Amino acid sequence: MKKVFKKLLAITLVAMITISAVGCGKEENALTKIKDAGKIVVGTSPDYPPFEFLISEDGKSKIVGADIDLAQKIADKIGVKLEIKSMDFDSLLPALQSGKVDMVITGMTPDETRKKAVDFSDIYFKGVNGVLVKEENVDKIKSEDDLKKVNLGVQKGSTQETYVKDKLKIEKYKALKAVPNLVMDLKSGKIDAIVLNDKVAKINEGKYDNVKLVKDLKLTGGGDEEAMAIAVKKGDNKELLKLMNEEIKELQSSGEYDKILSNAVEEVSKAKQ
C-alpha cells in the first residue's frame, strides 16, 4: 500500500512539473527570445518617406528613414543587431503574429481593431493626414464632401482606407499595396486624389511637378489624425514594451526624435538628386 502511494505521488509530481514546463514554454518572453537570437527583426513597408523609404547606395537599394533610425535605437538599447524585412503594408501584422518579425515599425496607427490583434508601444509621432491631387484639380477639393465626388486612392489595409470606407462611407475607391503606385495612378489620371500622411504627401509634391497637397482642408473622424506606434506580438512582451517606451521617451524629451525626423527629410531630398 505504501509503495503504491509513493508511486502515485511520484507520477503526480512528474505530471505537475511537465504541465508547468509546457505552460512556461508557451509564454516565451519576447525580450529573452530577441537577446538569445542576437538580433531583432523589424518589418516595414518602405514606401512612406520620411518614415521609411528606399535609397540606392553603391548600386544596391537600402531601406532608410526615421522609423529605421528608431528601430536601430531600440536594437542598440537591447544590445542586438537589427535586421530589416521589407513587406507589403497589409502583410506586416500577419508576419508579426506568425513570428516572422519581432516588431513592426512602419508609421502604423494603433487603432482599436489592430489593438485586438497585436500590442503597441507608446505613440512616437503624431501626424495629420492630407490629400494629394493632380495640380489641375487642386481647387476642386475644398471640403470632405468634395472627396466623395472624386475617385479616391488609399493604401490597402491602412487607417486611411478605414477613414474613406467607414467615415466618408465611400464604397468605390482604389486601394493599392504601395504609395508610389498610388502616385503613379494619380499622375496618369486613374485616380483624382490620395488620402495619406501630410508629410509623405509633401515629399511627393516636391518630387513630382504636377501633384499638389490640398491646403486648408479639414478632415474629421480619424481622417485628421495619424498617430504612429511600434507593434509587437501579443504575449509575454511587457519587458520589451517597457524598454521601447523608455527609448521613445528619451528620444522625445532630448529632442533627438525631431532631429531624426528632419535628417530623414533631408535624406529624401538628397536621394532625389
136 vs 216: CA distance, rounded Å? 17
* Binds ligand ARG (CB under 6 A): choice among 41, 48, 134, 152: 48
User: How large is the greatest C-alpha to C-alpha distance in the chain, in angstroms?
Assistant: 94
Q: Which stretch binds ligand ARG (CB under 6 A): 41-49, 93-101, 116-124, 211-219?
A: 41-49
**What does each C-alpha distance from 246 to 72, 105, 190, 241 come to in angstroms?**
14, 16, 45, 8
Residue 47 found at the interface with ligand ARG (CB under 6 A): yes
Residue 120 found at the interface with ligand ARG (CB under 6 A): no
Q: Would you give the DSSP letter of residue 169?
A: -
Residue 109 found at the interface with ligand ARG (CB under 6 A): yes
Residue 267 found at the interface with ligand ARG (CB under 6 A): no
Q: Which of 245, 247, 227, 241 is nearest to 103 (CA)?
A: 241
211 vs 191: CA distance, rounded Å? 12
- C-alpha grid cell for residue 175? 486601394
Q: Which of 127, 129, 132, 128 is nearest to 213 (CA)?
A: 132
The amino acid at 233: K
Residue list 223-252, contact with ligand ARG (CB under 6 A):
226
* Binds ligand ARG (CB under 6 A): choice among 70, 154, 179, 230: 179
Residue 159 found at the interface with ligand ARG (CB under 6 A): yes
Number of residues that bind ligand ARG (CB under 6 A): 14
Q: Which stretch binds ligand ARG (CB under 6 A): 21-29, 93-101, 104-112, 166-174?
A: 104-112
Residue 257 found at the interface with ligand ARG (CB under 6 A): no
In the complex, minimum distance from the CB of residue 108 to ligand ARG, in angstroms, rounded to a whole number: 4
48 or 173, CB closer to ligand ARG?
48
The amino acid at 163: Y
Identify the sign of the CA torsion 248, 252, 255, 258.
Answer: positive
Omega of the bond prior to 50 within 30 degrees of 0, cis?
yes
Q: Which stretch binds ligand ARG (CB under 6 A): 11-19, 43-51, 143-151, 215-223?
A: 43-51
Residue 108 found at the interface with ligand ARG (CB under 6 A): yes
Q: Which residues bind ligand ARG (CB under 6 A)?
A: 45, 47-48, 52, 89, 106-109, 155, 158-159, 179, 226
